[in-house]
Amino acid sequence: MKKTYLAAAALLLASGAALAQSKISGDVVKIGVLTDMSGLYSDIGGQGSVVAAQLAVEDFGGKVKGKKIEVVAADHQNKADVASSKVREWIDREGVDMVTDALNSAVALATAKVIAEKKKVLIDTGAASTRLTNEECTPYTIHHTYDTYALANGTGKAVVKQGGDTWFFLTADYAFGHSLEKDTSDVVKAAGGKVLGSVRHPLNASDFSSFLLQAQASKAKIIGLANAGGDTINSIKAANEFGLTKHQTLAGLLVFITDVHSLGLQATQGMYVTEGWYWDLNDDTRKWAKRFYEKTKKMPSSNHAGVYSAVTMYLKAVNATAADDGDSVMNWLRKNPETDMFGKNMVLRSDGRLIHDMYLFQVKKPSESKGPWDYYNLRHTIPGDQAFQPLSASRCPLVKGK
Amino acid sequence: MNEIFGIPAQALLGQLLLGLVNGSFYAILSLGLAVIFGLLNIVNFAHGALYMMGAYVAWLGLELFGLNYWWALLLAPLIIGLFGVLIERALLRWLYKLDHLYGLLLTFGVALVIEGTYRYFFGVSGQPYPVPDLLAGATDIGFMVLPNYRAWVVVASLAVCLATWLMIERTRLGATLRAATENPKLVQAFGINVPLLVTVTYGFGVALAAFAGVLAAPIIQVNPLMGSNLIIVVFAVVVIGGMGSILGSIFTGLALGVIEGLTKVFYPEASATVVFVIMALVLLVRPAGLFGREK
């Protein structure tokens, strides 16, 4: 008789444990950092994003609700097909619960589709395209760090306000470049400026002098660089070489701190930059950047900080709901604004856009900088409700009344 | 103002000149490839990576030892040339008996290893290299403002191309080299050390790539991927000029630089593809290339 009681009690305990387990799949919370490990964006994401995710896990003590947290990483090679098959494999075979970074807009859009199909969570920190929160929005995508609208809005408005009312665009000839050019043109025109023309250059063009001469001939006050990474770097370099910067001003529309670091202040001084985060904003950012620097010997980009924040908010949701499935996590995140070292009271909108302040910086003169990585002067904090595309303009079908 | 096809003549002249600058890089890189292919029958896919290594010798020299540009221009080809000798002695010489394809695969692999290693240490954003003081600034030449350094690039690379051509066509060493290309066994029978000749030739081709790398350093960001961005176009240049043709590669390099420059004005979207369109057309009409001989 006593034995039966014991057995029954053991069975009850076991089933109770099984019930508690069932809400965290596979007894482990797995975070997938999907990034460019070796190509032109690997300084913005790459190994740094993995470190950022690990720092977030470290802050949770490596465990959430008694379950282990694991970080896995993969190189998407900037190819949408590689990304979507990797994510599928991660979810089906390795039990990954959440994907982050996913820089490069094409990769992000492909990943978002798989994630929505599998009802997991994508917190995208690296991609720029506003399509993620418009035509291609899903209930499982969060667009975290920045987007082309916010960049155009930040830099475009500020430059026109400073008197830069005639523009010529140097545009990377693919979806991202076109949309950045269009968004910025709209902002410039709305602010009373004029767009005099544009030239489309191929991705990874090694020489920009020819395109810059065309920009010079346009006599526009501002040359808007609607490109990214190495293309932006080489455009700025050639513009300095050909003396364009004496009479015209460059406006880098997607510039990361790693680009400024690579070019040096001599070539970039005075340029306006819009970013969602900078390491030298306040004590919290400085403290976190120091931890990051100790591991990587580089200062973090805004994308790295975004990955940290993305993993943190996801783990908070898992901790609060004791579940790691997409629906529970997303529901919790929609109701609970996130505060961490990236930003305060960041609200998740129904189209998937995470609303937070954006910052307009101006690159320091060499004489103002105290040393490597001391590059930005904060010119203006753009409050979250003005920084991003208004919800009323969203083309996302998930938004009520659409 | 005069206009040509709706473009002011002045602007067009400027673009032609810029095309010539880019063409100089094509010329010097394709020359190295042609020299190597001519004697070794190796399609040297590592050429882009070696060009990048040349630029990094310049940058590292400046950062670590304060070595100026002119020393870099001299030392980088020597150092990277020796590295090329090492590649030839250790790896390539085992492949001469085999099909071209093996050499291509091996050098492609070498290129990936070199690029991966540099990426690991230096990241991908690249490092800035300043224009040497002597060539800083720009000159107003009437129809455009030309940075002095770009003018130097054209002069320097044309001089090197011409010297290489003279050496191969007009000297005794060049004659031996050409003979060894035609019939290595016979040349060896005359008591000439053909394997040594082969090693030196590869080293020389590689040195040319490194020289181009140093020339490019002040213009584009020194970056582990700078070679792979350029090498495909350079291969197209070699194919158009005719594999192994010295003069062909120099001429085609310059001409394609100019054509590409003009495309950037009239239809910029096509500037990345125009070289390949021309390649396809040339291959249809003359499969051996413009200056190549059918074998």
List the single residue in A199, A202, A267 with the smallest CB-CB distance to B128.
A267
A10, pLDDT greater than 70: no
Asked if A207 and B14 come within 8 Å (Cβ–Cβ), the reply is no
Q: How far is B93 from chain A (nearest CA, A)?
A: 31
* Stretch A235-262: mean pLDDT: 89
Based on its alpha-carbon atoms, the radius of gyration of chain A, rounded to whole angstroms, reads 23
Residue A162 is predicted with a pLDDT of 85
Task: Say if strands A98-101 and A121-124 run parallel, antiparallel, or are unpaired.
Answer: parallel
Residue A158 is predicted with a pLDDT of 87
A365, pLDDT greater than 90: yes
Asked if B131 and A241 come within 8 Å (Cβ–Cβ), the reply is yes
B34, pLDDT greater than 50: yes
Smallest CA-to-CA distance from A276 within A204, A356, A182, A209 is with A356
The model's confidence at residue B293, banded by pLDDT at 50, 70 and 90, is confident
ipTM: 0.77
What are the tens digits of pLDDT across the range A40-50?
A: 788 899 999 99
Chain B residues in contact with A263 by the CB 8 A cut-off are 128, 221
Asked if B18 and A213 come within 8 Å (Cβ–Cβ), the reply is yes
Residue B185 is predicted with a pLDDT of 84
Asked if B119 and A213 come within 8 Å (Cβ–Cβ), the reply is no
Asked if A213 and B223 come within 8 Å (Cβ–Cβ), the reply is no
* CB contact residues (below 8 A), chain A span 295-334, against chain B: 298
* CB contact residues (below 8 A), chain B span 171-230, against chain A: 219-221, 223, 225-226, 229-230
CA B118 to mean position of chain CA atoms = 20
Asked if the C-beta of A191 comes within 8 angstroms of chain B's C-beta atoms, the answer is no
The model's confidence at residue A324, banded by pLDDT at 50, 70 and 90, is very high
Q: What is the DSSP letter of A400?
A: T
Residue A107 is predicted with a pLDDT of 93
Percent of the residues in chain A that have a pLDDT greater than 90, as a whole number: 72
List the single residue in B150, B220, B272 with the smallest CB-CB distance to A237.
B220
Q: Tell me how far apart the alpha carbons of residues A378 and A278 are, in angstroms, rounded to a whole number.
A: 9
A8, pLDDT greater than 80: no
Sheet strands side by side (includes A354-355): A338-340, A343-348, A354-355
* Stretch B204-211: mean pLDDT: 95
Task: Read off the tokens for B63.
Answer: 């950062």
Planar angle of CA B31, B33, B34, nearest 5 degrees:
65
Other Cβ atoms closer than 10 A to B89:
14
Residue B3 is predicted with a pLDDT of 66
Residue A217 is predicted with a pLDDT of 87
Residue B295 is predicted with a pLDDT of 55
Q: How far is B18 from chain A (nearest CA, A)?
A: 7
- Phi/psi for B109 (5° steps) reads -60, -45
Asked if B264 and A204 come within 8 Å (Cβ–Cβ), the reply is no
* Stretch A225-241: mean pLDDT: 89
Sheet strands side by side (includes A67-75): A63-64, A67-75, A28-35, A98-101, A121-124, A141-143
Query: Residue A162: what residue type?
Result: Q
Asked if the C-beta of B263 comes within 8 angstroms of chain A's C-beta atoms, the answer is no
Q: How far is A197 from chain B (nearest CA, A)?
A: 13
Residue A13 is predicted with a pLDDT of 52
Residue B145 is predicted with a pLDDT of 80
**Which chain A residue is nearest to residue B117, measuring alpha carbons?**
A38
What are the distances in angstroms from CA B40 to CA B50, B122, B198, B203, B236? 17, 32, 7, 12, 19
The model's confidence at residue A21, banded by pLDDT at 50, 70 and 90, is very low
Chain A residues in contact with B13 by the CB 8 A cut-off are none
Asked if the C-beta of B22 comes within 8 angstroms of chain A's C-beta atoms, the answer is yes
Asked if B128 and A229 come within 8 Å (Cβ–Cβ), the reply is no
Q: Tell me how far apart the alpha carbons of residues A22 and B244 are, in angstroms, rounded to a whole number.
A: 68
A191, pLDDT greater than 70: yes
Q: How far is A204 from chain B (nearest CA, A)?
A: 7
Other Cβ atoms closer than 10 A to A20:
12
The model's confidence at residue A9, banded by pLDDT at 50, 70 and 90, is low
Residue A243 is predicted with a pLDDT of 84
Residue B2 is predicted with a pLDDT of 61
Q: What is the biggest distance separating any 2 CA atoms in chain A, rounded to whole angstroms?
A: 97
- What's the mean per-residue pLDDT of chain A? 90
Asked if the C-beta of B117 comes within 8 angstroms of chain A's C-beta atoms, the answer is no
* Stretch A156-178: mean pLDDT: 90
What are the tens digits of pLDDT across the range B56-76?
A: 999 999 989 999 999 999 999
* CB contact residues (below 8 A), chain A span 213-242, against chain B: 213-214, 217, 229-230, 233-234, 237-238, 241-242
The model's confidence at residue B158, banded by pLDDT at 50, 70 and 90, is very high
Q: Tell me how far apart the alpha carbons of residues B153 and B168 are, in angstroms, rounded to a whole number.
A: 23
A16, pLDDT greater than 60: no
Residue A141 is predicted with a pLDDT of 97
Three-state DSSP state, A194: strand
Residue B183 is predicted with a pLDDT of 82
Chain A residues in contact with B11 by the CB 8 A cut-off are 213-214, 217
Residue A174 is predicted with a pLDDT of 81
- Phi/psi for A30 (5° steps) reads -110, 130
The model's confidence at residue B8, banded by pLDDT at 50, 70 and 90, is confident
CB contacts < 8 A, A to B, total 106
Asked if the C-beta of B131 comes within 8 angstroms of chain A's C-beta atoms, the answer is yes
Question: HSE-up of B290 (CA within 13 Å, CB side)?
Answer: 20
